[in-house]
Amino acid sequence: MSTVTSTDARSASRDALDRARVIAATVTDPEMPMLTLEDLGVLRGVEERHGTIEVTITPTYSGCPAMATMRDDLVHALHDHGYADVRVRVSLSPAWSSDWISERGRTLLVEHGLSAPSAVAASGAGPGGPTPLNLLPTRRAITCPRCGSTEIELVSEFGSTACKAQYRCTVCLDPFDHVKEI
Amino acid sequence: MTDHDMKDIKDNAYDGLLGGDDSQWAFGTDFEDPLAGVDTTIADGVDAAALAAYCLMLGDDALISSHRLAQWCSNAPDLEDDIALSNISLDLLGQARLLLARAAAADPTVVPTLPEGSPVPAEDALAFFRVEAGFRNVRFVEPENGDFAETVARLVVFSTYRLALLERLRDSQDAVLAAIAVKGVKEVAYHRDYAARWFLTLARGTEESRRRLVAGLARIWPLYDELFWAHPVEETVAAQQTGVDPSGLAAEVDVVLEQVFSVSGVDRPEVPQVGRVGAGAGGSGRHGRHTEAMGPLLAEMQSVARAHPAGRW
């Protein structure tokens, strides 16, 4: 009988962990609430350790001020679903890359008027070795998320949050944010 | 409605601000530790005290530079550059937080002692409760901003230096420093591009923009050489492969700056360099010897935290 009980307990714990993963995957980004932390690639894992649910997240930028809110939101979401013991770990390595934004996330960005990042490899910034100096404005093959025009111009490499650049469409004249390649 | 929403409504809203759920607040809880959950174990054979002192050096460079750049917030020539300089300041503040927290984790004795029961976390104790001589930043980052052109000139040099340094630090035997460096390289590459493009724009802009740029470059240049002086701590961490000897960076930094200068048609300044302070003391920013600008900077940066050493924010 004891074997059966322990198998049941393991299976219950497995279910609890699976549910915790589903719940964590619904928590959204505080700045871009149309994206979940999973879509953004910030949610790196949900594990169970000695009865504690351990959620791992990674910052987009070193100074990202949304980290504390992300941690709180994860803890609250899991508390609300009956998980009393929740710990959020920050993982610095491997460093977040905009390449980790999911396809669903990219579609949602565009649907909400933002331009999604291109692949990092294509932007010339690779790992290792000296980073080449770039004296000309970064050229990105992007389109206006509102009208689809390719006639766009860079306003500033720095936008409303650390992860965005500002662009303007010269056809529909709307400004828009581009999530930067990093 | 969820349980915690219900609780927030039932309780006095102001009780909710400081009581109960500390995780909502920016300062004063270990939940806010930027290294929370990061494995801060020190590898065998690494001198923890030297590692901590080194993290203070790199953290203070970022912190003081960040503070100066933040002074441009609401003062820059236009909104885009206001946002750009604030973003750069924020990236550097993030790097400073990680580095100061790393210093405190490696050697807790570097953290100033605060009254018992003070909620101030180690990174804030280091930023706000050290005296001037305890800061280990290079003097290059301290002087007042000057005009926009002078800030651009300083940022070109500082971000070129820091990028070269962080690129090497990616190979640190300290896993935390290596991880901080990998993120930092991506950020500082954007800072350098921003500053170098403005350098070129100002140099090739109007007579006035060029005059201001050349004058600003001459004002920042006397503290250039110090960037590459190796402090004994830097030599120790370089030997242990946890840090970088800055004297090895000069050639690479010079090449990048020469590229910016030649495209801009600006000569590298030939001005006397500020020497070491104190007879035989090896005095530099890395030894805690600073310029006249440092005292007022710290007075402004630290005043609120020092007025409320047991405050919760």
B164 token code pair:
């070269």
Percent of chain A with pLDDT over 70: 92
At B31 the pLDDT is 42
Q: Which of A65, A93, A182 sits opposite B186 (nearest CB)?
A: A182
Q: Decide if B257 touches A, using CB distance below 8 A.
A: no
B23 Cβ contact list (under 8 Å, min separation 6) = A68, A71, A72, A75, B29, B31
**Would you call B304 exposed, middle or buried from its count of C-beta atoms within 10 A (0-12, 13-18, 19+)?**
exposed
- Tell me the three state secondary structure of residue A49: strand
A154: which strand partners?
A: A167
Q: Is the ipTM of this complex over 0.90?
A: no
Per-residue pLDDT at B22: 46
> CB contact, 8 Å: B181 with chain A?
no
Q: pLDDT-derived band of residue A159, with 50, 70 and 90 as boundaries?
A: confident
Residue B204 pLDDT > 90 = yes
pLDDT band for position B281 (cuts 50, 70, 90):
low
Which pLDDT does position B28 carry in this prediction? 35
Own/partner pairs for A169-178, CB < 8 Å, 24+ apart?
A: A169/A144, A171/A144, A171/A147, A172/A144, A172/A146, A172/A147, A174/A144, A174/A146, A174/A147, A176/A113, A176/A114, A176/A115, A176/A144, A176/A145, A176/A146, A177/A113, A177/A114, A177/A115, A178/A114, A178/A115, A178/A117, A178/A140, A178/A142
Q: Residue B92: list chain A partners with CB under 8 A.
A: 63
> What integer pLDDT is reported at residue B29 of this predicted model?
38
Model confidence at B277, pLDDT cuts 50, 70, 90, reads confident
- Helix (H) / strand (E) element for A11: namely helix A2-24
Compare A93 and B161 and report the one with higher pLDDT. Answer: B161
Averaged over B225-251, what is the pLDDT?
A: 97
Instruction: Provide the pLDDT confidence category of residue A127 given band limits of 50, 70 and 90.
Output: low
| Lowest-confidence segment of A75-79, B4-8, B223-227 by average pLDDT | B4-8
pLDDT of residue B67 exceeding 80, the answer is: yes
Cα–Cα distance, B14 to B20 (Å, whole number): 11
Q: 3-class DSSP state for residue B47?
A: coil
Nearest to A89 among B37, B176, B183 (CB): B37
**pLDDT the model gives residue B280:** 61
pLDDT at A157 over 50: yes
Asked whether residue B308 carries a pLDDT value surpassing 90, the answer given is: no
Residue-wise pLDDT tens digits, A85-117 = 999 988 888 889 999 999 999 999 999 999 999
The percentage of residues in chain A with a pLDDT greater than 90, rounded to a whole number, is 60
pLDDT confidence of B30, banded at 50, 70, 90? very low
* Closest listed residue to residue B127, CA positions, set B303, B302, B296: B302
**pLDDT in the model for residue A6:** 67
Predicted pLDDT at B6? 47
Long-range contacts of A102-106 (CB under 8 A, 24+ apart): A102/A38, A102/A39, A102/A41, A104/A39, A105/A35, A105/A36, A105/A39, A105/A40, A105/A41
User: In this structure, what is the dihedral angle of CA atoms A126, A129, A134, A139, given to the nearest 10 degrees?
Assistant: -10
> Is B281's Cβ below 8 Å from some Cβ in A?
no
Give chain A positions within 8 Å (CB) of B185. 131
The verdict on a CB contact (< 8 Å) between B34 and A88 is: no
Burial A116-133 (b: 16+ CB within 10 A, else e): bbbebeebebeeeeebeb
Taking CB atoms and an 8 Å limit, are A90 and B184 in contact across chains?
Answer: no
Picking from B61, B89, B193 by the largest number of A CB atoms within 10 A of its own CB, the best residue to mutate is: B193
Q: Which 3 state secondary structure label does DSSP give B39? A: coil
| CB B82, CB B73: distance < 8 Å | yes
Strand-pair partners of B283: B277
Number of neighbours of residue B98 by Cβ within 10 angstroms: 29
**pLDDT at site A124:** 46
Hunting for tokens 């840090």 — which residue is that? B243
Would the pTM count as exceeding 0.95? no
Instruction: Identify the pLDDT of residue B49.
Output: 96
When pLDDT is averaged across residues A125-135 and rounded to a whole number, the result is 75
Structural contact between residues B66 and B141, judged by C-beta atoms closer than 8 angstroms: no
Distance CA A124, CA A145 (A): 23
What DSSP letter does each residue of B133-152 carry, written as one string? Answer: GG----GGG-S---SHHHHH
Q: Which of B175, B185, B200 is the closest to A131 by Cβ? A: B185
> B170 by DSSP, 3-state: which?
coil
**One-letter amino acid for residue B2 of the chain:** T
Q: What percent of chain B has a predicted confidence (pLDDT) above 70?
A: 88
A60 with A96: CB under 8 angstroms? yes
Q: pLDDT tens across B121-141, in order?
A: 899 999 999 999 999 999 999
Interface mutation vs chain B, best among A44, A52, A81, A133, most B CBs within 10 Å: A133
pLDDT band at B263 (very low <50, low <70, confident <90, very high): very high
Question: Which pLDDT value is given to residue A120?
Answer: 84
Length in residues, chain A: 182
Question: What is the three-state SS of B222-275?
Answer: HHCHHHHCCCHHHHHHHHCCCCCCHHHCHHHHHHHHHHHHHHHCCCCCCCCCCC
Under the banding of pLDDT at 50, 70 and 90, the label for residue A5 is: low
> Is residue B32 less than 8 Å (CB to CB) from chain A?
yes
Evaluate whether B42 touches B54 at the Cβ level (below 8 Å).
no
Closest residue in B to A63 (Cα) is: B94
pLDDT in tens, B71-130: 999 999 999 999 999 999 999 999 999 999 999 999 999 999 988 878 888 999 999 999
